[in-house]
Amino acid sequence: MIAYVKGTLEIIETDAAVVDVHGVGYRVFTPINEKLIRIGIGGDIQLYTYMSVREDAQVLYGFLETETLELFKLLISVTGVGPKLGLQILSAVSAKDLTLAIIRDDKKALTKVPGIGAKTAARIVLDLKDKVHAAPGGDVEADLPIAAPAMQNGPAQEAMMALTALGYSQSEAERAVSKVAAEGMSVEEILRQSLKQLY
C-alpha cells in the first residue's frame, strides 16, 4: 500500500495531479483547489494517498492533508459513496465545512454537491455523525463560534455575505466576523477588520 507520494508536481489535470517521483510519474486523483494551484507546476508536493483496487484498475487518490484523507476514507465507507463520489464531495466542499455539515445535520449543504441526492446526504449524516468527532481534525465546533443573535442580520450578516462573495467559505466568514463584530460597527468596518483576520 502506498501511504504517500512525494515529489515534483509535473501536471495539473481537471481532477488529478501527476507527481514525478525520481523519474516515475504517478497520476493521483485529488481535489484541484487553491492550495494545489499555489504549489504550481515544478513545486514540491506530498499527497497522502488511498489506493482503490478494482478488477480493471488500480487508482490512487491523494490529499494534501492527512485529515482530508481520513475524512475521504470515512465517506467511502458509506453505502453508495465510492472513491469517485468521495473525491467529488471533497472537491466541492472543504474538509472542515463537510465535517460541520455532518455534525450539524445539515443535509441541504450536502445536496448542493453534484451527484448527492437527499437519500445519499441523509445516509452520510446518519453513518458519519458519530465518527467525525473522533476523526483527526473532526472536532471543529470548538474553534467556530455559533453566531450570536446579532450576527443573524444587520451589518454583520451583510459582511459575512460579502466575504462569501469574495470566495471565503461560510465557516471562515462566520469565524472572522464573530471575532470582530460589535454593536454600532458599519458593514465596511466589520469587513475591513474581518479581512485582517483572514490574511
pLDDT for position 143:
45
pTM over 0.85: no
Residue with cell 453513518: 127
Alpha helices in the chain (DSSP H): 34-39, 66-76, 83-92, 95-103, 107-111, 118-132, 154-165, 170-180, 187-198
- Reference 32, options 22, 42, 41, 24; nearest CA is 41
161: its cell numbers: 455575505
Contact call for residues 81 and 40 (beta carbons, < 8 A): no
One digit per residue, the tens of pLDDT, for the chain of length 199 reads 789 999 999 999 999 999 999 999 999 999 988 889 999 999 999 999 999 998 888 999 999 999 999 999 999 999 999 999 999 999 988 888 888 889 888 888 888 888 899 999 999 999 998 888 655 554 554 444 434 434 445 788 888 888 888 888 877 888 888 888 877 788 888 888 888 878 6
